[in-house]
Amino acid sequence: MIRVIGAGLAGCEAAWQIANRGIEVELIDMKPYKQTPVHKTDMFAELVCSNSFKAARTVSAAGMLKQEMRMHDSLILSCADLCAVPAGGALAVDRQLFAAEVTKRLNENENVKIVSKEVLEIPADGINIIATGPLTSEALSESIKQKFGNGLSFFDAAAPIVTFESIDMNNAFFASRYGKGDGDDYINCPLSKEEYELFYNELINGERAPLHGVDVMNPKVYEGCMPIEVMAGRGEDTIRFGPMKPVGLRDPKTGHRPWAVLQLRKENAQGSMYNLVGFQTNLKFGEQKRIFGLIPALKNADFVRYGVMHRNTFIDSPRILNADYQVREQKGLFFAGQITGVEGYIESASSGCIAGINAARLSLGLEPYYAPKTTVMGALAEYISDSTVENFQPMGANIGILPSLDENIRDKQLKAEKLSQRGFEDLKTALKGV
């Protein structure tokens, strides 16, 4: 029996890939026996940051990755597609329905044995996949450090969620940027120049929640989850050209583009909750209500969840792992998910997919499976296992990690199309043997 430790996106995907190859798998998670600081339910694959899986277009890196996962019969993508909510050109999910569906399917799979306990150290025997994520428990983290040396860490931040009924729609409007989507995928909260300047000054001077431990001295914050107040501190116009950019939007009341805009995205299928897009934060809860309430549409907002900031830990994968996510110096030990340094929901699930396939193949005496380097899955695996990479930092899906085309194409859209076509064709061929 293969062990998968951790029932997040990567662990669930790994267990699914193993079980669907007719091999028994023990999926071990410390919930509900023990919770992390940010998880709120006992379900598997719980999303604690955004509910978005990024762009759906297959000519984007994020869209390519999702299609590649579908081609691998991914549990995570199957459940995400089933639980999708409108989000313009992105794939976003109702997080409660999504986690419930993933949990249900794993519990119903006869080859999956669910075990609730905390794993305190790296198992010494058998085939194991460690997919405990950025919030790996202290005991297991210490065991990993003892074996592989000190890991790297940074802080990750989550955005607040408000109820739809508490949003002042007299000061907001439904629209998707540039008219992409169904026209009502996002609620847009416009600000005038004066309103923005007031909000900005309060934001950069807002009181932040304390950070604990050694990381207080030198926190490393991943750019993709940069707290809004930290980003704002880089300059008055930074967030106005970032998460609050008004480009592609016009206020129907004025017919003009606002000075700045906060976008809200559906958090669930019913549309009863919306999250503040790009507003990850470490402000104290009272400060979040006060400062975000300066945005006219949110002056009476009811916060279902306040933003939080938490520690995120990952190993120095280029020194430790092969592109099959197996430890070079210990056959049968795999890592998967954000702990490997892949950054993002589907990126994490994709590493679990490859690790699960290879754990299964190892148990059957088969050679490892490597996703083609021309795919986003393969390129990510290559990056985290590339021993020439120095100062290793998390990496998400992006076109830049894919090998260049044989032809020089300047048109970005055409280039993306060619890259995706090449990747899909190469993957079809590779999967014939898997």
Q: Let me know whether 127 and 189 are in one domain.
A: no
pLDDT of 232 above 70: yes
Q: Each residue of 190-225: pLDDT tens digit?
A: 999 999 999 999 999 999 987 654 344 345 666 667
CA nearest to 189, candidates 242, 236, 259: 259
**Residue 156 domain-assigned (yes or no):** no
- What digits encode the pLDDT tens for the residues 380-409? 999 999 988 877 878 899 888 998 898 888
- The residue type found at 201 is N
Q: How far is CA 157 from CA 29, 152, 363, in A?
A: 23, 17, 38
Q: Is the pLDDT of residue 124 over 70?
A: yes
Q: In what order do the strands lie in the sheet with 84-85?
A: 52-55, 90-93, 84-85
Over residues 144-177, the pLDDT tens digits come to: 999 997 666 777 678 999 999 999 999 999 998 7
Average pLDDT, whole number, for the chain?
A: 91
Domain hosting 324: range is 2-151+315-431
At 8, which CATH number?
Answer: 3.50.50.60
For residue 408, the model assigns a pLDDT of 85
Residue 244: name the closest of 258, 265, 230 by CA: 258
Taking the C-alpha atoms of residue 223 and residue 210, their distance in angstroms, rounded to an integer, is 20
Q: What percent of the chain has pLDDT over 70?
A: 93
Our CA dihedral for 265, 94, 50, 63, rounded to 10 degrees, sits at -90
pTM: 0.82
Q: Are residues 241 and 134 in the same domain?
A: no
Report the distance separating Cα 412 and Cα 57, nearest Å.
14
In a domain, residue 171? The reply is: yes
Question: Same domain for 229 and 243?
Answer: yes
In a shared domain, residues 285 and 411 = no
Give the pLDDT of residue 102: 98
Judge if 303 and 334 occupy the same domain.
no
The answer to whether residues 43 and 96 belong to one domain is: yes
- Asked if residue 285 is part of any domain, the answer here is yes
d(CA 66, CA 230): 31
Q: Which two tokens stand for residue 115?
A: 């075990």
Lowest average pLDDT, out of 40-49, 279-288, 306-315, 336-345, goes to 306-315
Q: 301 with 363, same domain?
A: no
Q: Encoding tokens for residue 332?
A: 């049968």
Domain boundary among 310, 341, 362: 310
pLDDT band at 275; cut points 50, 70, 90 = very high
